Amino acid sequence: MQLTSTPAQVSSDDVQEFFLQRGWSDGLPVVPPTPDRVAAFVAAVGRRPGDVLARIPEQAREVTVEKLAINAVMAGARAEYMDVLVAAVVAMGRPRYNLHSTTVSGATAPLLIVSGPVVQRIALNSRFSLFGPGHHANATIGRAIRLLQQNVCGGRPGVVDKATFGHPGKYSYCIAEDAAASPWEPVHADRGVDPAGSAVTVYAGEAPIMARNDWSSDAGPVLDTIADAMLPSHFTGGGCTVVVGPLHAAAMARAGLSRADVAEELFRRARRTLTSLRRAGRLSGPVGADEDTVERTVVPRPEDILVLVAGGHLYGYSAVVPAWIGGHESMAVTVPLDLATAPDLEGAVADLTHPGAGGLPASPTPGEASS
């Protein structure tokens, strides 16, 4: 995939066509990944090009620092983003995330949630138009992960990635937590990372669902609105991410609710009776006698609801990002940013142990080429 000639020797149009015809782009123009550019990105994290960040046993593939750097260059990212990208790939390589299954199917994309001082350092957007365009760091970091998933992990659209619809987050899906607007500790502090540090949480999510309530300043009605937005979820396990808007977060703070309290309240409210699920076509099989009273929760436990604060502060909105469920559940994984430059990367990665997850049969892809 890496170009051996300099940009002066190949026209820009030729480069774009070359990558497009080989299925190495997302349809948008790419930056040529010349050796000098790639080497600068590798050097930014002080790693060797062949250092392995993640493995996909089902496909006998490895994601190395160099392969990540190539796709980051193509995406238009900056070398200073590499520690975020390295941490994100390590998170995706954990069995709990289930990289193989989330690559080859489903209306899902890796949602990167960046938290801590790095948000300010690289100017990640955590406020207005949170999921939208206009911010270089968010756009190119998310795009780099998407290109990597396509070119190295095997997720070439229509060839291996057989998603029925997908969603626009498959171009780029990267947001940041707004620490200034949050009444709670950073989201990574509840997930085993030093509150003073930075981290990346990766979550295989579907498209966000907006939860609008700008007519109440009380926590109860706001929680009811968010819980209602959670109901289109699959009710078959996995997790759910709730991005609480600043106005809604302020209402919860006034009520004295902690992040765990919010997750507990949403868990209590976001449920449907079996009769309701059957009426919506979500259940099959014989009808039980008590289906009008038996309820099913959106997620198995309150702890499976990931809560963070971000977004604009002018209107009363929050957002719900449903989990991807394809027979092999994927859960959010958080990795500290300092792991990217850890002297013993393999040892640090090995310490991030999580329960295993299954996979689907391996599928070949023409999207990865020798670097």
Domain positions in the chain are 11-206+327-365, 208-323
Q: What pLDDT, on a 0 to 100 scale, did the predictor assign at position 138?
A: 98
pLDDT for 164-174, tens place per residue? 888 999 999 99
The residue whose two tokens read 């493995």 is: 55
Per-residue tokens: 180: 């200034």
Q: How many residues does the chain have?
A: 371
Q: What pLDDT, on a 0 to 100 scale, did the predictor assign at position 353?
A: 43
Residue 357 has pLDDT above 60, yes or no: no
Closest listed residue to residue 26, CA positions, set 71, 63, 56, 68: 71
Residues 6+ apart with CB under 8 A from 111: 169, 173, 174, 175, 202, 203, 204, 205, 241, 321
Closest listed residue to residue 28, CA positions, set 177, 138, 147: 147
pLDDT classification of 159: cutoffs 50, 70, 90: confident
Section 245-249 average pLDDT? 98
Going by the DSSP 8-state scheme, the letter that residue 361 receives in this structure is: P
pLDDT classification of 104: cutoffs 50, 70, 90: confident
Q: What pLDDT, on a 0 to 100 scale, did the predictor assign at position 367?
A: 26
Residue % of the chain over a pLDDT of 70? 89
Q: What pLDDT, on a 0 to 100 scale, did the predictor assign at position 3?
A: 65
Residue % of the chain over a pLDDT of 90? 70
Residue 345 has pLDDT above 80, yes or no: no
Lowest mean pLDDT among 17-26, 140-149, 293-302, 359-368: 359-368
pLDDT for 55-85, tens place per residue? 988 888 899 999 999 999 999 999 999 999 9
Mean per-residue pLDDT of the chain: 88
pLDDT classification of 1: cutoffs 50, 70, 90: low
Contact 41, 72 (CB under 8 A): yes
Q: What pLDDT, on a 0 to 100 scale, did the predictor assign at position 8?
A: 57
d(CA 288, CA 327): 24
pLDDT classification of 100: cutoffs 50, 70, 90: confident
Q: What pLDDT, on a 0 to 100 scale, did the predictor assign at position 355?
A: 33
Residue 371 has pLDDT above 90, yes or no: no
Q: What pLDDT, on a 0 to 100 scale, did the predictor assign at position 69?
A: 98
